[in-house]
Structure 1
Amino acid sequence: SDTMEEGTVATWLKKVGESVEEGDILAEIETDKATMEFESFQSGTLLHIGLNEGETAKVDSLLAIIGPEGTDVSNVAKNFKVSDSSSEAKETTSSAQKEEKKEAPKKEAPKTETKKEVKKTVDTSSSNGRIHASPLAKKMAEEKGINLSQLKGSGENGRIVKRDIENYTPAQAGTQIGKFVPTGQEDFDEVPNSNMRKAIAKNLAKSKFTAPHYYLNVEFDMENAMAFRVQYNSMPDTKISFNDMIVKACALALKQHPQVNSQWFDDRMQLNNHVHIGVAVAVPDGLLVPVVKFANEQSLPQIGSAVREFAGKARNKKLSLDEMEGSTFTISNLGMFGIESFTSIINQPNSAILSVGAIVAKPVVKNEQVVPGHTMKLTLACDHRTVDGATGAQFLQTLKGYIENPVTMLV
């Protein structure tokens, strides 16, 4: 990958001393985008492993040595000490974190201290069970129903005086009787950033702070789309989702609005005649965007089959680089999680990304009458360097025509 700076050995499929043929899979390497199978370019015996499973190193570090069986390669391996630095640093950091967590002082509950404070309060206002209070304070306390043993006197030698009765609030009694004592302690867990997570952070931060984003919000009537899907799925061996319909509709609309299907470069703007739509897929480490290529030429079932296959590969980290490159437009759908509307960060070098919300049952106005209906909110994030507001709005109008009248996608 042209963006890869370091990799992590996920699994070794060969052991030291085993024979290796050209084309054999040596190991699985976790890159910034996916876990890839690494093929051997040579035949021979695996003589040395430079990185153990779980260790990370920069590109061009020593991964393994292959050669004739019985060859001593210890001197060769010594020349690649640089590759060990990242793993050593990782071990040192991990060890330091464990020690820091182990030695972190626990917040002890001040039980003894609290008891002393209560005892001191009683001692200052009583002697042998006798409460020191002025006659006026005693009379006022009796009239107000205040228990003098709950007060701390502010007079001489802790004597309770008039102002103590006047300033007394019931909350003081609760405070003096017993303070809140936490039983837990402050702690946390640290999770090292994976290569994928670091790549996502780098690329999205670059997009957010270099591309001038703006957002267009729309709400589509989904009654016809829902009926269309039910009818379409009634055919044998056919199953399409609303997301498949949105991918197809976007692909057709992008053919009519190449400006939205464009890419920005410092010296030029590239208007793409082909439509490759990236579909965001959530995975444990972050987000992958497999690409449905020439989506405008594919049928709804073909799009559905491709998206399901890509989603499965993405969750198992088996997507190839070719399956994640070349998108001209991106769709992110959180409707299945009940999210009604949201905004997304543009997946550069694309000029726009469409955020798709959930279909919601709600009252709608049709023919000046309030009737039950279903709507869906969408948000188009655009790069203002390539897509002006009017251009983005016209694209959404075309998209609205396909979504609200899905039969037109089959014409």
Structure 2
Amino acid sequence: MRAFFLAVSLALASAPALAAEPDTTAILEKASHTFAMTGGELSGPGADLILKATADAQFVLSGEDHFDTLTPQFHTALYRMVHRAHGIDRLVVELDPLAIEGMRWKPGPDDLDQIVSLARRYPTLIGFSSDPDLKFLADVRAISGPKTLWGIEQAQSPARYLEELVRLAPNQKVRADTESLLSIARPIAGLADMGKYVSQAPTLLGRLETLKENFQAPAGSRADVLLTGLAKSTEIYSYYARADAGEPVGLYNNTVREDWMKRSFLARYSAESRKRGAPIKAMFRFGANHMYHGKNPTQAFPIGNLAHELAIVNGKHAYGLYILGLGGYTQWGDLPSWMKPILPASQPTAPLLIDLRPLRPVARYYARQVAEADRWELRDLIQGFDAVVLLPNSSKASWSLTGQPQP
């Protein structure tokens, strides 16, 4: 027995000491890289890191908070950089496909004016129609042409869909039913009015399904595409309205919407990849909730996750950025406490990229610095994105081009 305890003692004495906890502050500092954004170009250590990290990427994903001034400018510069360096020539956006279809003209000096005219004619068709967002659309079209943009969002302008369906109606009865629905959609004069349509969505959904049945449009026809898109969008809105009334269906507002965007993307991706004879390389610009790798905070596996997995299937990878424009709707002091362990101690004065990849092996040590109930959010951010980008000195986006009120 004495020999046994002696052996155990010797083993313990010879065992290596437990590793010291990592210095999370030092790791964060080393992972932080400043960059500059001037003249529509990115430069500096942060930009160099993005260039290197995306060299073999099929997709570059950028998730944002909407209606910020500097964020669209960053996205234009980012797209210009990865297009020039890596041949990425498609930009997938959180917009109605009919909005992009409405920009078929060849980019020219009046491109922005024509986009503004489209936004004024159908106030909800371009869901993000602030001045910097509209300029972003014109700028990226100027970089790589009219086929650059892909819109895969649900239908956002019922009036635009129904106007065309009136012209496509197979008989007078169906035309009258379509015009009746159009009379409900036409008064939607802006983004603030969309709530009126959403509140009626549960009732309108049944009418649209009946309209689709009465149309008897051949599968894949223009009428079928419009009717299917409008009905699916109304279904998605109906979950929001029903949840607002107390019914436990809010989850489907997220999961069904993500499913629709995935199907819309894959249809376009498959067709263009076959035509090209090679997989399409694209950048995505969406709200941050849609760009997670893995399950997002609203319990859906989003379009961003699909992009990551599709890139892996093709022997590539996707690179995801989480963008925070600071100074507008998002203020430094308003950032959630759970995010603070991976941010600098004070607001940066210049654009800053924080590389999350070195933080992943020690993510639990960052998570321990926040309330236990919030740790999952920090872990999901570290694992779901490759970098956080901070854009200080921003502001709320202006809306002078369309005359829409600022949200």
Query: Under a length normalisation based on structure 1, what TM-score does the superposition of the two structures give?
Result: 0.19
Using CA pairs below 8 Å that are at least 6 residues apart, which structure has the higher relative contact order? Answer: 2
Task: Give the number of the structure whose residues are more often strand, by fraction.
Answer: 1
Task: Give the number of the structure whose residues are more often helix, by fraction.
Answer: 2
Higher Rg of the two aligned structures:
1
